[in-house]
Amino acid sequence: MDMNAYLSMFIDESNDHLQSLNENLLRLESDPEDLSIVQSIFRSAHTLKGMSATMGYEDLASLTHEMENVLDLVRNSKLKMDSFIFDTLFKGLDALESMVQDIVQGGTGKADVTAIVASLQSIVKGDYKTTGASAVPAAAASGQQSGGLLDEFQTSVIQQSIDSGHNVYYIEVEVREDCVLKGVRAYMVFDLLGKNGDIVKSEPSVTDLEQEKFDRSFTVFAISTLSQQELETQIAAISEIDKVSVALLDLESLAMLNNAASKEQAPSAAPASTPASAQAESSTKEEAGKQVAAARSQAAASSAPAAVSKTIRVDIDRLDALMNLFSELLIDRVRLEQLSSEIRRNDLTETVEHMTRVSSDLQNIVLKLRMVPVDSVFNRFPRMIRDLAKSLDKKIDLVITGADTELDRTVIDEIGDPLVHLLRNSVDHGIETTQERLAAGKPETGTIHLRAYHSGNHVFIEVEEDGRGINREKVLKTAIKNGVVTEEQAKQLTDEDVNMLIFAPGFSTADKISDISGRGVGLDVVKSKITSLGGNVTVDSALGRGTKFAVQLPLTLSIISAMLIKLGSEKYAIPLTSIVETGIVQRDQILNVHGNRMIHFRNAIIPLVSLSKVLDSPDFNEHNESETEIVVIRKGDKWAAVTVDEFIGQSEIVLKSLGKYLTNIEAISGATILGDGQVALIIDPNALIK
Partner 1 sequence: MGEELKVIVFSLAHEEYGIEVDKVRTIERLSPITRVPKTPSFIKGVINLRGIVVPVIDLRGRFGLTESATTENSRIIVVAVADMEVGFIVDSANDVVDIDTDTIDLPPEIVGGIKAKYLRGIAKFGDNRLLIMLNLSEVLNKSEIIQLEQLEV
Catalytic sites, residue numbers: 46, 68, 425
Question: What angle, rounded to 10 degrees, do the helices at 346-369 and 316-343 form?
Answer: 160
Identify the helix (H) or strand (E) that includes residue 350: helix 346-369
Could you say whether residue 665 binds partner 1 (CB under 8 A)?
Answer: yes
Half-sphere exposure of 665 (CA within 13 A, CB side): 18
Nearer Cβ to partner 1 (282/663):
663
* Per-residue 3-state assignment (H helix, E strand, C coil) for 247-263: EEECHHHHHHHHHHHHH
Determine the residue type at 202. S
Q: How many residues bind partner 1 (CB under 8 A)?
A: 29
Nearer Cβ to partner 1 (367/658):
658
Could you say whether residue 594 binds partner 1 (CB under 8 A)?
Answer: no
How near is the Cβ of 670 to partner 1 at its closest, in Å? 8
Could you report how far apart the first and last alpha carbons of the chain are, in Å? 62
Nearer Cβ to partner 1 (167/617):
617
Subset of 532-591 contacting partner 1 (CB under 8 A)? 570
Nearer Cβ to partner 1 (79/667):
667
**Spatial distance between the Cα atoms of 273 and 299, rounded to a whole number of angstroms:** 25
How near is the Cβ of 623 to partner 1 at its closest, in Å? 18
| Strand, helix or coil for residue 566 | strand
Could you say whether residue 671 binds partner 1 (CB under 8 A)?
Answer: yes
Could you say whether residue 9 binds partner 1 (CB under 8 A)?
Answer: no
**Spatial distance between the Cα atoms of 266 and 279, rounded to a whole number of angstroms:** 18
How near is the Cβ of 604 to partner 1 at its closest, in Å? 29
| Strand, helix or coil for residue 610 | strand
Binds partner 1 (CB under 8 A): choice among 22, 327, 340, 536: 327
Nearer Cβ to partner 1 (279/621):
621
The contacts of residue 176 (CB under 8 Å, 6+ apart) are: 240, 241, 242
Identify the helix (H) or strand (E) that includes residue 680: strand 679-683
How near is the Cβ of 680 to partner 1 at its closest, in Å? 7
Nearer Cβ to partner 1 (333/437):
333
How near is the Cβ of 633 to partner 1 at its closest, in Å? 18
Q: Which residues pair with 460 in a beta bridge?
A: 453, 552
How near is the Cβ of 505 to partner 1 at its closest, in Å? 24
Binds partner 1 (CB under 8 A): choice among 36, 144, 586, 678: 678
Subset of 459-518 contacting partner 1 (CB under 8 A)? none
Radius of gyration of the chain measured on its C-alpha atoms? 34
Nearer Cβ to partner 1 (52/617):
617
Alpha carbon dihedral 22, 23, 26, 27, in 10-degree steps, equals: -150
Q: Which stretch binds partner 1 (CB under 8 A): 124-132, 281-289, 323-331, 484-492?
A: 323-331
**Spatial distance between the Cα atoms of 661 and 655, rounded to a whole number of angstroms:** 17
Binds partner 1 (CB under 8 A): choice among 95, 193, 680, 688: 680
Pairing of strands 396-401, 446-455: parallel
Binds partner 1 (CB under 8 A): choice among 658, 675, 684, 689: 658
Subset of 599-618 contacting partner 1 (CB under 8 A)? 614-618
Q: Which stretch binds partner 1 (CB under 8 A): 125-133, 418-426, 541-549, 661-669?
A: 661-669
Phi first, then psi: give them for residue 394, nearest 5 degrees. Answer: -115, 160
Contact 264, 141 (CB under 8 A): no
Could you say whether residue 366 binds partner 1 (CB under 8 A)?
Answer: no
**Spatial distance between the Cα atoms of 303 and 299, rounded to a whole number of angstroms:** 6
Contact 259, 272 (CB under 8 A): no
Contact 172, 244 (CB under 8 A): yes
How near is the Cβ of 682 to partner 1 at its closest, in Å? 11
Subset of 330-359 contacting partner 1 (CB under 8 A)? 331
Q: In the structure, how many helices (H) and strands (E) does the chain have?
A: 25, 22
Q: Which stretch binds partner 1 (CB under 8 A): 278-286, 313-321, 573-581, 666-674?
A: 666-674
How near is the Cβ of 659 to partner 1 at its closest, in Å? 6
Could you say whether residue 317 binds partner 1 (CB under 8 A)?
Answer: no
Task: Say how many residues make up the chain.
Answer: 690
Could you say whether residue 667 binds partner 1 (CB under 8 A)?
Answer: yes
**Spatial distance between the Cα atoms of 165 and 168, rounded to a whole number of angstroms:** 9
Could you say whether residue 661 binds partner 1 (CB under 8 A)?
Answer: yes
Nearer Cβ to partner 1 (393/616):
616
Nearer Cβ to partner 1 (137/661):
661
Nearest residue to 296 via CA among 255, 261, 259: 255
Q: Which residues pair with 586 in a beta bridge?
A: 627
Binding site for partner 1 (CB under 8 A): 324, 327-328, 331, 570, 614-618, 656-663, 665-668, 671, 673, 677-681
